[in-house]
Structure 1
Amino acid sequence: MSDGAGGGENKVREARNMGSDTGTGGNGTLDGAVVAVAGAGGPAGRAALLRLAEAGATVVGSDHDPERLAEAVDAARYAHGGATVTGETVDLLDLDATRAWAGRIEKEHGRVDGLVHLVGGWRGSQTFTRTDLDDWDLLEQLLVRTVQHTSLAFHEGLQRSDRGRYVLISAAGATKPTAGNAAYSAAKAAAEAWTLALADFFRKAGGEQGPTSAAAILVVKALVHDAMRAERPNAKFAGFTDVRDLAEAVAGVWEKPAAEVNGTRLWLTEKP
């Protein structure tokens, strides 16, 4: 997945319709929820902050770039007056720092109900044989190690919540890799496997009554936002998911019972 809406509209509508059940088990509203967003400074992060704040959540963003994080937080606050949206620069490659961030959120707000993982990055090559293994070294850090750290830091808090959700944004390439994207696709596949292992933790912790928390994967081909369209006005962006539609799907993960979304892949583009 690159931070980068053409196709996939039906898939996006499916994501929006996840929330039709608003019964007790469905947690159909984010009012009062506390949700952390990792990678909040990018276009997808900005859209997520806006949508989660609109849904009534207290939102805590992190990013490695303090300037763009501050801009994203300010935009969400401005768009939704009265919403509690804060940001903190966190090194997600440092497990202790990530755990400390999770602890501060729970200490300050009394709970943590979600972690949305939007940390991205892309490297590719013209052919498989020209793959640069330095790309793997970078992508393993960005796409795998950060997932390991956020999941290990937040899983206990999410399990204590009655509507805890861990949401990973992944890419179709993890399912059907291409020759020039070996490193990227392998990293995404590893991140998915790690997230599914977290889902198994939630399943086992729920026992016979089923999980109360969930780990879910949202799959896109790539992302598109307004600035990209402005730069390439004639581009089709076929199969791409608009960051606002992604944010809608993220919010929708809370609108179904944990047992229905735990360990699932929700496709926002056509399956390869």
Structure 2
Amino acid sequence: MTSSTPGDTGGTTPLDGAVVAVAGAGGPAGQATLLRLAAAGATVVAADADAARLATAVDATRAAYPGTTVTGDTVDLLDPAAARQWADRSEQEFGRVDGLVHLVGGWRGSATFAETDLGDWDALEPLLIRTVQHTSLAFDAALRRSGNGRFLLVSAAGAGRPTGGNAAYAAAKAAAEAWTLAMADGFRKDGGEAGPRAAAAVLVVKALVHDAMRAERPNAKFAGFTEVTDLAEAVTDTWNRTTADVNGQRLWLTPQP
């Protein structure tokens, strides 16, 4: 399936005919990712807890790429049963699932380590860790069946080099990374000498930036930030590489410290 709309990559891509799920699809990064996946010819299965912003993202992608199938499901990924139902329903409807892009996020922090509010951890642990656990377990079997599956987590450079005021956020991101890399080890072991049939990897950014942020702060430099469109390009690019090359990697989209 290819699109004839402006911005189409033209011709066949590795994502032609693939089915890719996007968790947290309603935010700016999600919207950019939906558009890029659709441009590459994928069927896009989007989910978000916010029905209104999910509908906006899905409608915009359908309008830009009318020949591409884009669906939207309001899913509470804090509920493991709901995550599994979403995965099962997606595979039953389309016959396969070739990717899960995990974009669920959130940030809370303080000025210094001593001022850390443990309420920040209480808020971030479900969003940044539990949702990863629930989606990875829900989609694991389908990604293995794909033969070229991807589980992609977007993380932050601060997970490996935390600052005092970001203790809760960095710790949660580090835990989510560890969980994703454990999934990658499972893919590696199951693949044996033939190599993994699916890949789990972490896309590392300092932070993300999008047009609305630039409009709100026209004089800001956003040094080292990653444009959401560049993140979306990096997501699709993982299908241009072998599963063995992607699996278990931390793929840096910002200068590595």
TM class by smaller structure: over 0.9
Residue number in structure 2 paired with 1:215: 200
Paired letter, 1:35: V
State the alpha-carbon separation in 1 of the partners of residues 189 and 85 from structure 2: 26
* Aligned match of 2:134: 149
Contact map agreement 1:221 1:269 (CA 8 A) in 2: yes
Match of 1:118 among 86, 103, 115: 103
Equivalent residues in 2 for 1:54-69, closer than 5 Å: 54-69=39-54
Counterpart of 1:93? 78
2: CA distance between counterparts of 1:201 and 1:101?
A: 22
Structure 1 residue 38 corresponds to structure 2 residue 27: no
Unaligned runs of 5+ in 1: 1-26
Task: Tell me the secondary structure at the aligned position of residue 88 of structure 1.
Answer: strand
8 A contact 2:159–2:174 mirrored in 1: yes
Mapping 1:15-26, distance limit 5 Å:
none
Shift >3 Å, 4+ stretches? none
Q: Is the 8 A contact 2:184 2:247 kept in 1?
A: yes
Distance 2:92 2:65 in 1: 25
Q: One-letter code of the match for 1:43?
A: P
Structure 1 residue aligned with 2:38, among 41, 50, 53? 53
1:46-101 residue CA offsets vs partner (Å, 9 max, x unmatched): 00000000000000000000000000000011111211111000000000110000
Instruction: Tell me the equivalent position of 1:8.
Output: none
Amino acid at match of 2:104: V
Once the two structures are superposed, residues 162-186 of structure 1 have per-residue CA deviations (whole angstroms, 9 ceiling, x without a partner) of 1100000000000100000000000
CA distance in 1, matches of 2:159, 2:204: 9
Give the total of aligned pairs: 246
Is the contact between residue 28 and residue 256 of structure 1 (CA under 8 Å) also seen in structure 2? no
**Aligned equivalent of 1:131, options 116, 130, 138:** 116
Alpha carbons 2:201, 2:247 under 8 Å: kept: yes
The residue number in structure 1 matching 2:59 is 74
- The CA distance in 1 between the partners of 2:228 and 2:47, in whole Å, is 18
Separation in 2, partners of 1:52, 1:43: 14
Aligned to 2:218: 233
Cα deviation, 1:105-152, whole Å, max 9, x if unaligned, reads: 000000000000000000000110110001001110000000000000
Q: Find the aligned partners of 1:226 and 1:181 in 2 and give their Cα distance.
A: 25
Look up the match of 1:188: 173
TM-score by length of 2: 0.95
**Is the Cα contact below 8 Å between 2:37 and 2:236 reproduced in 1?**
yes
Q: Which moved more, 1:119-128 or 1:75-84?
A: 75-84
- Alignment match, 2:69: 84
The secondary structure found in structure 2 opposite 1:128 is: coil
Cα pair 1:53 1:80 within 8 Å, conserved:
yes
Cα distance between partner residues in 2 of 1:122 and 1:271: 21
Unaligned 5+ segments in structure 2 are 1-11
The CA distance in 2 between the partners of 1:139 and 1:44, in whole Å, is: 19
Which AA in structure 1 matches 2:25? A
- Any idea what SS the aligned residue of 1:35 has? strand
* Kept after mapping to 2: 8 A contact 1:28/1:254: no
TM-score (norm 1): 0.89
- CA distance in 2: counterparts of 1:247 and 1:263, whole angstroms: 19
